[in-house]
Structure 1
Amino acid sequence: MRVSSARGAGALVGVTLALTLVGCTPAGAGASADPAADGRRAAPPVAIPVVASTNVYGDIVERIGADRVDVVSVISDPAQDPHSYEASTRTQLELSKAKIVVENGGGYDDFIDRMLRSSGNSSADVINVVDVSGKVAPSGGELNEHVWYDLPTMGRLADRISAALARVEPADAGTFRENAKEFKDELASLQARTDRIKADHGGTPVAVTEPVPLYLTEACGLVNRTPAAFSEAVEEGEEVSPRTLRDTLALFTGRKVEALVYNEQTAGPQTERVKQAAEDDRIPVVSVTETLPAGQDYIGWMTANVDALQSALSR
């Protein structure tokens, strides 16, 4: 549509007046007099550097910190035995820069403490998950340090991570708390499922190749019948005595257990014999790992473990 010359002249006057007013606007009444300051405000905040000993804890940190964290998980290969991991110089470099470090503790990942000391980083907030759990070794026994299979401990860990992140970045404290709450709500749903398994199958005997899943099986009310000498030898990478192996195999030939929970990351000839014995006698085998499988997050991983236990016990 064509504009008349009179209307066009009026528009031109209006534009000229507007430009004049903009030119007279005092500094501070609109755009900053310091363009560099505007650039600093517009720049995104620097992500909080966090090092986690395994991708289990790295995933939980990312869930709570979201895009406000930059997480390095030292052990992340699901095919690797975490007990035999040897840290690298890259690990030490990342630890030297970390504001927060999440380690399992309980002797599981001692290399983190050693390398953190060597890095010269004395200001990092170190979260020891075994300490968070409050668990201690039973009288005359050894601590089961695999606390990531204990759902209540992971809820306490979420709060601890949220608080640590808030100390570094107080402006985002509310976001961290809300993310932790959502994570704990999902844990509560999983806990309700383990309670149902306990109600339906409490007291059911099972076997394990090592203590990794025991917090989860105990929450489901299942009773571990594995000779302690067998699971401890496997965990320590030691040879199982012929008598102990024979006693363990007898659990399956005599159908004294209803399922075998098998750690894929510490498989060897003797654990393979146990697995084969279970399969030969049609006893369900539930495979577990110590680190997150590729493409899974913590909640999805634990959900799959609970699903597998439920399926095995319902056969």
Structure 2
Amino acid sequence: MQKRQLLAIALGATAALALAGCSSGASGDDGRIRVVASTNVYGDIATTIAGDAVDVTSLMKDPAQDPHSFEASAQSQLAVSKADILIENGGGYDDFMDTLRTGAKNDAATVLNVVDISGKKPVDGELNEHVWYDVPTIGRLTDALVTALSKADPAQKATFEKNAAAFTTGLDALEKREAELKAKYAGEGVAITEPVPLYLLDAIGLDNRTPEKFSEAIESGNDVSPVVLQETLRLFTDRQVRLLAYNEQTSGAETTRVLAAAKQADIPVVPVTETLPSGKDYLSWMNANLDAVAGALAK
């Protein structure tokens, strides 16, 4: 997948004033570990594992906001300047985190880059950076978080390990559900508007039949050629797919037409998001996604 250049940074002189006099990479006066995550997905996971031992700041957290239009603020850089642990997605998704850390001069913070932790490499020069939809990657992140948190607060290592074990049990249950769905539906055709949920769909063994040029154009914010758009629309009129996974946080003329085509053909639509929906934690969110996919495939 083509990497996004998706997030602008608006800091300016206000950030310099906000940073004046603050120290870098130090825990708060109450002894709690300061974690800054690029999105509330990783912020939620950090809170689940660390519990009351952390203060978590998630920079992208509005489920109604298009992540492509996110702008880091002076408050974002101030939070980064004080962080003990920084969690970034990597893979070109949230390069603003490195820019913020450089501007904050916080070299003491432990940086957890989830794409690096995943071990995933580009294929033909392209990488699907949406690794939070890959359950094994979240398992590796959990281990890395326990290590980083235990280093920051050795006295609570046992608590971190206990919380991580409970969370890992939930991850194992997700993988079991994916395997069950794969045994039943492997090879069924699906369509997407963007590569956001592909790791989850791949784990179920589903066949993404969306023209690559369509999803690449949408992800990059480019126009879709008329030929590619018509090829994509035929997936629904010819009933070549069982569902459409639709990114609710980004939309445009082409994705709106694809959504309308799916609905007109009575193809189930599975909404997906890039940040954690309100009222959900990571495990309940992924279970809801699997529920939606299973429900669509059963129709």
Fold conserved (TM > 0.5)? yes
* In 2: Cα distance, 1:56 partner to 1:237 partner: 23
* In 2: Cα distance, 1:233 partner to 1:162 partner: 38
1:225 equivalenced with 2:234 (yes/no): no
Contact 1:149 1:213 in 2 (8 A): yes
Shift, 1:82, TM fit: 1.5
1:215 equivalenced with 2:170 (yes/no): no
Shift, 1:53, TM fit: 0.1
1:152 equivalenced with 2:136 (yes/no): yes
* In 1: Cα distance, 2:98 partner to 2:37 partner: 12
Please point out which of 131, 144, 162 is paired with 1:178.
162
Larger Rg: 1
1:288 equivalenced with 2:272 (yes/no): yes
Partner of 1:133: 118
Count residues with an aligned counterpart. 271
C-alpha distance after superposition, 1:53-80 (max 9, x if no partner): 0000000000001000000000001111
Shift, 1:301, TM fit: 0.4
Contact 1:76 1:292 in 2 (8 A): yes
Q: Give matches, 1:48-197, under 5 Å.
A: 48-138=33-123, 140-197=124-181
* In 2: Cα distance, 1:141 partner to 1:222 partner: 23
Matched to 1:198, the amino acid is K
Structure 2: which 5+ runs fail to align?
Answer: 1-28
Structure in which a larger fraction of residues adopt helix: 1
* In 2: Cα distance, 1:110 partner to 1:91 partner: 14
SS at match of 2:52: helix
Please point out which of 229, 234, 241 is paired with 2:218.
234
Instruction: Say what the alpha-carbon RMSD is for the aligned residues.
Output: 0.9
Matched to 1:126, the amino acid is V
Structure 1: which 5+ runs fail to align?
Answer: 1-43
* In 2: Cα distance, 1:136 partner to 1:221 partner: 20
* In 2: Cα distance, 1:69 partner to 1:49 partner: 6
SS at match of 2:71: coil
Partner of 2:229: 245
C-alpha distance after superposition, 1:221-250 (max 9, x if no partner): 101000011101111111111111111001
TM-score (ref. length: structure 2): 0.89
Partner of 1:199: 183
* In 1: Cα distance, 2:269 partner to 2:78 partner: 41
* In 2: Cα distance, 1:231 partner to 1:141 partner: 16
Matched to 2:104, the amino acid is S
SS at match of 2:249: helix
TM-score (ref. length: structure 1): 0.85
**Stretches of 4+ aligned residues off by more than 4 angstroms:** none
Shift, 1:83, TM fit: 2.4
SS at match of 2:184: helix
Shift, 1:45, TM fit: 4.8
